[in-house]
A = this chain, B = another copy of it.
Amino acid sequence: MKVGIVGLGLIGGSLALDLKASGFAKKVVGVDSDPENAAKALELGLVKEVRPFREAAAASDMLILAIPSGAIAGAVRGALDLAAPGATVTDMGSTKRGICAAAAGHPRRKQFVASHPMAGTEDSGPSAALRGLFAGKVAVICEAEKSGAAHVARVSAMYSALGMRLIRMKPGEHDLHAAYVSHLSHISSFVLANTVLAKETDETAIFDLAGGGFESTVRLAKSSPETWASIFLQNRANVLRAVEDYIEHLCDFHRAIRNGSGPEMKALMANANRIRPVLGAMRSGGKRRAAAGKKVGRGRKER
């Protein structure tokens, strides 16, 4: 299959590597509006060919939009306009409501499959691309009922080739959960970095004392401002609500410390400790399910 990938950053570049390696794509054509990125992707061998959007869209059996969320919402109708009649268009956007709304009612809506692979790192750009980024993780498909069955099957096959477990969600449901489970993590990390950098004007103290857990908690603060501004704008209401909830829980914690109350603090931390079995199940379950292969789609069904 000829696959066109629009956006050759972390996600698009990693896709190019894995879709080629797995044999899912016979040929990959890249698109990137930034000439430097395009040159880098060629230099790194992520793709062998970079073409203008219009040409790649017309020549692909599957066109994958791997640009920032807001840019996808702006590009999806144009992609459907340009796509060949039997071709599939899908996207990697971290938000789904705005993108699905943008695609709604397009005469070729059935050719579009809205999706989101829950995978990434804090790095960005073509040089961040890596093999195996998606394996064992979950991919979400939204509004499958608005897509043609053959197109859903094709996108599902792509995610299976990447080693991902597939689930379905409504766009609004996806965006609400993503705000809490994914987007809020990034904000807490960006804000931790800003707080520590404002206080520690001499960075030696960070350097010296970061062994105690700071590094993993602040990891996401390295993430791309471009990508994340787009996500926060696309999912603004949910993200604002998630940040407000977080501030409330933070105030509970502050109050317990201010009261000097060991039992209050311990109760809050014991509650937080409940995340351990959830993550443990995720880790072992994710591996088990990915290994099972056939179990794809056994997650929550679209309600």
Contacting residues, chain B, for A275 (C-beta < 8 A) = 193, 196-197, 206, 218, 221-222
Contacting residues, chain B, for A233 (C-beta < 8 A) = 257, 260, 262, 265
Q: Once the chains bind, are B191 and A253 in contact (CB under 8 Å)?
A: yes
Q: Once the chains bind, are A194 and B254 in contact (CB under 8 Å)?
A: no
Closest to A117 in B: B211
Q: Which of A220-239 contact B (CB under 8 A)?
A: 220-226, 228-230, 232-233, 236, 239
Closest to A275 in B: B193
Interface mask (A114-125 → B, CB under 8 Å = 1, otherwise 0) = 000011101000
Could you say how many copies of this chain the assembly holds?
2
Q: Once the chains bind, are A191 and B250 in contact (CB under 8 Å)?
A: yes
Contacting residues, chain B, for A226 (C-beta < 8 A) = 266
Answer yes or no: A292 CB below 8 A from chain B CBs: no
Closest to A194 in B: B249
Closest to A200 in B: B180
- Shortest CB-to-CB span from A127 to chain B, Å, is 14
Partner of A191, one of B218, B249, B281: B249
Q: Once the chains bind, are B300 and A208 in contact (CB under 8 Å)?
A: yes
Answer yes or no: A43 CB below 8 A from chain B CBs: no
A281 CA / B229 CA spacing, docked (Å): 27
Q: Once the chains bind, are A120 and B212 in contact (CB under 8 Å)?
A: yes
Answer yes or no: A258 CB below 8 A from chain B CBs: yes
Contacting residues, chain B, for A247 (C-beta < 8 A) = 247, 250-251, 254
Q: Once the chains bind, are B257 and A250 in contact (CB under 8 Å)?
A: no
If A180-B199, A204-B300 are given as contacts, then 20 extra A-B residue pairs at C-beta distance below 8 Å, sorted by A number, are A118-B208, A137-B211, A178-B212, A181-B209, A182-B210, A182-B212, A185-B214, A185-B217, A188-B189, A190-B269, A195-B242, A197-B275, A213-B220, A218-B279, A221-B273, A222-B276, A225-B266, A225-B270, A228-B269, A229-B262
